């Protein structure tokens, strides 16, 4: 197969279903050799079954591509190392890592358990860190040896993290952390020839079926189809994306956008008397842009909630 990623080797985590599956298939269509990683767990992270990953591998092979299945836990230190090594040992190299695996344990903060918090943070945040760490170690050694490196890391953040969503303090905190991780690691690895970006998808999958109202018609359902996320991820994994790093993209069947990060707003010289801050803060807030809501629009965050 030939295409945008011809000859490149890519790992996609959580690739047995939904968005990750579409990433793996798209990369394969564009010529990449793909490691399809998936534990085959339920939405809440319990259980395991490697057959979804194997099914995707079979789809890729049926279209003439090359792929292997991997069932390692991305949040496990040794498992993440085995995952990276599986690509190198099977296909001889690694060019792209797509960190997509995730789970949900949604609950309002007052009712959230420690286990629900820890499980989500572990899969999303550590499950992004651990494979990335081993991939970067591989690319760094190649760069130090004077070999050419064209590495790509594409992380999965969420509008729930960068903008905020009720009932998802654990998930949103992890996803906001991934956005920050993306920015920081991009600064660290540029010297090795590696880029790091993130995508915040909006799609209807088994993870999101119970969130918000169901699509009203076929057109609305198509706009939420997971295949709309794969094009930007595939492009970010390619040689063409060498000049793009440290950015967060929003992607869905309705929009492709660059999400702009925190910026300093209105400011004054510091005051050392807290009794003077009331009117000063009020003035600063009156000049500042409001928080974005889940639609990414400035000022659409529900300010009236502060009065409840």
Please name which of 97, 53, 81, 66 lies closest in space to residue 1, comparing C-alpha atoms. 66
Active-site option among 138, 163, 171, 192:
171
Number of Cβ within a 10 Å radius of residue 118: 12
Strands (DSSP E) found in 104-223: 151-156, 194-201
What is the widest separation between alpha-carbon atoms in the chain? 71
The C-alpha atoms of residue 109 and residue 166 are separated, in whole angstroms, by: 9
> Tokens for 74?
């991305």
The C-alpha atoms of residue 153 and residue 272 are separated, in whole angstroms, by: 44
* CA–CA–CA angle 197, 212, 179 (5° rounding): 15
Sign for the CA dihedral angle at 224, 225, 228, 234 comes to: positive
Q: Taking the C-alpha atoms of 125, 26, 66 and 103 in order, what is their torsion angle to the nearest 10 degrees? A: 30
> Tokens for 213?
């109202």
Is there a catalytic annotation at residue 171?
yes
The C-alpha atoms of residue 282 and residue 130 are separated, in whole angstroms, by: 43
**Which residues are identified as catalytic?**
171
């Amino acid at each position: 197969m030939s295409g945008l990623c011809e000859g490149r080797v890519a790992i996609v985590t959580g690739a047995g279903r939904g968005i990750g599956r579409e990433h793996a298939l798209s990369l394969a269509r564009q010529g990449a050799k793909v490691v399809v990683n998936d534990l085959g767990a339920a939405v809440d992270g319990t259980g395991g079954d490697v057959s979804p990953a194997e099914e995707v591998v079979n789809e890729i092979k049926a279209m003439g591509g090359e792929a292997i299945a991997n069932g390692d836990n991305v949040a496990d230190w040794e498992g993440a190392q085995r995952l990276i090594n599986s690509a190198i040992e099977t296909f001889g190299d690694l060019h792209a890592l797509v960190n997509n695996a995730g789970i949900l344990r949604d609950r309002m903060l007052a009712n959230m358990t420690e286990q629900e918090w820890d499980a989500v943070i572990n899969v999303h945040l550590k499950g992004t860190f651990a494979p990335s760490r081993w991939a970067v170690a591989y690319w760094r050694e190649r760069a130090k040896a004077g070999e050419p490196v064209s590495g790509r890391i594409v992380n999965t953040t969420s509008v729930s993290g960068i903008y905020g969503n009720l009932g998802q303090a654990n998930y949103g905190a992890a996803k906001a952390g991934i956005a920050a991780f993306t920015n920081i690691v991009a600064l660290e690895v540029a010297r090795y020839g590696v880029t790091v970006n993130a995508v915040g998808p909006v799609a209807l999958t088994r993870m999101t079926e119970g969130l918000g109202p169901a699509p009203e018609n076929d057109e609305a359902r198509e706009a939420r189809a997971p295949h709309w996320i794969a094009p930007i991820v595939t492009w970010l994994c390619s040689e063409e994306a060498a000049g793009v790093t440290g950015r967060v993209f929003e992607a869905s069947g309705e929009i492709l956008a660059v999400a702009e990060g925190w910026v300093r707003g209105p400011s004054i010289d510091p005051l050392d008397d807290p009794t003077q801050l009331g009117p000063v803060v009020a003035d600063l807030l009156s000049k500042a842009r409001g928080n974005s809501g889940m639609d990414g629009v400035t000022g659409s965050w529900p300010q009236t909630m502060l009065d409840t």
